């Protein structure tokens, strides 16, 4: 109750603004914050699923690439010619050069397989020359961890980031011990993987993706500034340095990120590689944030405009209410105050209230004038009212008077033996009574035919044997409802245009109905009268197709328009006529669900 009292004490302008903010702004802000959070979650989840798929795809393609040097290492480990070249003791440099020229398998592998950048075999044979394929290991090479590990792993392959002695570039390389022909003589095979091919695989990824060895050296990446660096240098965190597979949150280059890792350990290898995909949350939601900022700007502008419009509307409302309040205060303050008139435009509640107030003031003023007037003025008013009532009663026409008069004429004709005249008067009375009782609703088809039959009998009184008619009402069609006065104008048209224009012989008017299926009734009015000339028939068809007129529509056009308005365009009149042979008018109407067929006896 206290809140309601406080709300009632607030000015209307402030109250409307408060209602707008409460009803529109607060729900809009709440839903915006909720939807923004959901949008961020969905985008991060989609990015995470995409990163998982990308890592799996990169792992498979990388596995296909490194499988080539792995297969080559198997073939070379069983290559007796290579072992013979590496273990043979040469007597001169010429003999070494000739042997190198004859053995081309290593060069062929490098030339044929794009996955391989270079192949070299380290063997401790002082009689050999270094041709970058067969190489004696120097003291530095023998102290390398990858070299000592390869010798100790008994033929297993190892993968590391090894510097090529020829171009001084680091490559992802396979290192493997190969036993030569002589007992105790061993060598190490090194195959460099084509880094460009690995980078091309990673370049198709939208997120930061890299391949690292077991020492966390980045051996390939789709970001050039990361290639050759160690993961520890990019502030990756302990999880990304040690975890072999899975997904987790991490900090990369100082930004919160999502990390997806997949492990790749080739067969017969003592170590493996890891494919790592990283995407920062800020990169993923950057586009969403742009949309959100734009939406906030648009919504903010809309809210400002809305507040201004609400304020303007409130000012308009309150100003009109203030005018009404001032006018109400003026009423009753002194002489002439009851003549005050308040002019407030509009059809809203305030406008209605002002008009009701003006009406109330006028009524009160009139009542006061009536009190001041004398009893003579009251009697004058009563006299004038009585005079008006008398004139209204005198100007009224009672239909029963007409029916009673027609009944008197009919009885007089019957007494005098004029049965035909008595029957015609009775038919006219029935037709007039039916016409007066017809409203704006629908009547049954049987009732309409009853009126038509009365009309035809009345016309036969005039035309006698020149007019013949036949009404065939199909079973089950009399109960449907149609607009009143549909058939009578059509029959009237046949009589006045078909019979009057026929020079000799009687004219037959046939009216029949037919049930077509369960949902349609077909009605036909046909005569064998004078017919319609072709030119007049074309004019009539054109008039029926023209847009309906606002007033003055009679006859065929009236019936045609009412049928189309009631049942649709397909229910209009269809007219066929030939001069000298007669006219046929048909239309179809949907069957209703009414019952009780009335008698067609006139």
Q: Where are the domains of the chain?
A: 48-284, 317-396, 438-590
pLDDT at 599 over 50: no
> What is the structure's pLDDT at 437?
52
- Determine the Cα–Cα distance for residues 378 and 25; give it in Å rounded to an integer: 63
Q: Give 594's Cβ-side CA count (13 Å radius).
A: 17
Which tokens in the block code for residue 289?
């944030």
- Higher per-residue pLDDT: 400 or 12: 12
Residue-level pLDDT at 585 = 93
The Cα diameter of the chain in Å comes to 165
Cα angle 501-502-508, degrees, rounded to a multiple of 5: 115
Binned at pLDDT 50, 70 and 90, residue 600 comes out as very low
Q: What's the CATH number of domain 48-284, 3.30.450.20, 1.10.10.10, 3.40.50.970, 3.40.50.300?
A: 3.30.450.20
Query: Would you place residue 389 in the very low, low, confident or very high pLDDT band (cuts 50, 70, 90)?
Result: very low
What is the Cα–Cα distance from 459 to 424, expressed in whole angstroms?
A: 9
Highest mean pLDDT among 239-243, 303-307, 479-483, 564-568: 479-483
pLDDT band at 525 (very low <50, low <70, confident <90, very high): very high
Query: Cα separation of 362 and 381, whole Å?
Result: 19
- Between 334 and 357, where is the model more confident? 357
Report yes or no: 135 and 166 within 8 Å, Cβ to Cβ.
no
> Is residue 119 pLDDT above 50, yes or no?
yes
Contacts of 406 (CB under 8 A, 6+ apart): 425, 428, 429, 432
* Distance, CA of 152 to CA of 145 (rounded, Å): 11
pLDDT band at 538 (very low <50, low <70, confident <90, very high): confident
Indicate the class that CATH gives domain 438-590.
Answer: alpha beta
DSSP E strands, 528-591: 574-578, 582-590
User: Mean per-residue pLDDT for 169-198?
Assistant: 88
String of b and e for 67-90 (b: at least 16 CB within 10 Å)?
ebbbebbeebbebeebbebbbbeb
* Averaged pLDDT score across all residues of the chain: 78
User: At 547, is the pLDDT very low, low, confident or very high (cuts 50, 70, 90)?
Assistant: low
Sort residue 595 into left (φ over 0), alpha (ψ -120 to 50) or beta.
beta
Contact (Cβ atoms closer than 8 angstroms) between residue 128 and residue 136: yes
Nearest to 402 by CA among 362, 431, 372, 366: 431
Share of the chain above pLDDT 90, in %: 13
Q: Are 454 and 430 spatial neighbours (Cβ–Cβ below 8 Å)?
A: yes
Q: Map tokens 């030569």 to a residue.
A: 180
Residue 301, SS3 per DSSP? helix
Do residues 424 and 410 touch, judged by C-beta distance below 8 A? no
């Amino acid at each position: 109750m206290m809140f309601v009292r406080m709300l009632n004490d607030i000015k209307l302008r402030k109250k409307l603004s408060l209602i707008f903010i409460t009803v529109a702004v607060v729900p809009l802000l709440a839903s915006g914050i909720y939807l923004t959070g959901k949008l961020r979650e969905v985008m991060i989840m989609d990015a995470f699923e995409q990163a998982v798929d990308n890592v799996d795809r990169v792992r498979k393609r990388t596995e296909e690439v490194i499988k080539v040097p792995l297969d080559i290492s198997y073939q070379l480990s069983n290559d007796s010619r290579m072992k013979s070249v590496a273990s043979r003791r040469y007597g001169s440099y010429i003999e070494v050069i000739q042997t190198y020229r004859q053995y081309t398998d290593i060069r062929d592998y490098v030339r044929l397989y794009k996955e391989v950048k270079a192949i070299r075999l380290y063997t401790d044979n002082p009689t050999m020359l270094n041709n970058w394929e067969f190489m004696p290991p120097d003291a530095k090479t023998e102290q390398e961890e990858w070299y000592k590990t390869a010798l100790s792993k008994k033929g297993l392959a190892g993968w590391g980031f090894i510097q090529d002695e020829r171009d001084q570039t680091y490559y992802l390389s396979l290192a493997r011990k190969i036993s030569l022909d002589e007992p105790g003589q061993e060598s190490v095979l090194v195959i460099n993987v084509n880094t460009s091919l690995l980078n091309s695989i990673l370049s198709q990824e939208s997120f930061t993706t890299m391949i690292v060895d077991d020492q966390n050296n980045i051996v390939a990446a789709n970001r050039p500034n990361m290639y050759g660096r160690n993961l520890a240098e990019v502030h990756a965190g302990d999880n990304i340095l040690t975890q072999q597979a899975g997904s987790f949150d991490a900090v990369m280059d100082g930004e919160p990120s999502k990390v997806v890792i997949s492990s790749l350990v080739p067969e017969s290898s003592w170590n493996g590689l890891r494919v790592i995909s990283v995407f920062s949350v800020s990169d993923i939601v950057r586009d969403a944030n742009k949309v959100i900022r734009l939406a906030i700007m648009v919504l903010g502008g809309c809210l400002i405009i809305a507040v201004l419009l609400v304020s303007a509307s409130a000012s308009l409302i309150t100003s009109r209410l203030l005018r009404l309040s001032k006018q109400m205060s003026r009423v009753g303050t002194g002489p002439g105050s009851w003549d005050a008139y308040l002019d407030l435009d509009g059809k809203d509640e305030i406008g209605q209230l002002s008009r009701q107030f003006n009406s109330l003031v006028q009524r009160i003023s009139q009542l006061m004038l009536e009190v001041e007037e004398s009893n003579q003025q009251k009697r004058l008013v009563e006299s004038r009212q009585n005079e008006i009532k008398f004139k209204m009663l005198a100007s009224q026409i009672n239909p029963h008077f007409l029916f009673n008069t027609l009944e008197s004429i009919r009885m007089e004709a019957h007494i005098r033996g004029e049965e035909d005249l008595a029957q015609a008067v009775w038919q006219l009375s029935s037709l007039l009574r039916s016409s007066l009782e017809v409203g704006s609703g629908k009547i049954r088809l049987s009732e309409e035919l009853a009126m038509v039959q009365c009309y035809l009998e009345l016309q036969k009184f005039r035309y006698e044997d020149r007019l013949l008619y036949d009404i065939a009402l199909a079973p089950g069609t009399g109960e449907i409802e149609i607009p009143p006065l549909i058939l009578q104008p059509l029959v009237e048209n046949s009589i006045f245009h078909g019979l009057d224009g026929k020079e000799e012989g009687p004219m037959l008017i046939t009216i029949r109905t037919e049930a077509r299926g369960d949902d349609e009734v077909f009605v036909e009015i046909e005569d064998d009268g004078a017919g319609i000339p072709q030119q007049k028939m074309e004019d009539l068809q054109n008039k029926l197709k023209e847009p309906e007129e606002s007033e003055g529509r009679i006859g065929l056009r009236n019936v045609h328009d009412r049928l189309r308005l009631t049942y649709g365009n397909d229910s209009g009149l269809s007219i066929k006529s030939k001069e000298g042979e007669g006219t046929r008018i048909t239309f179809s109407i949907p069957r209703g669900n009414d019952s009780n067929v009335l008698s067609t006896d006139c």
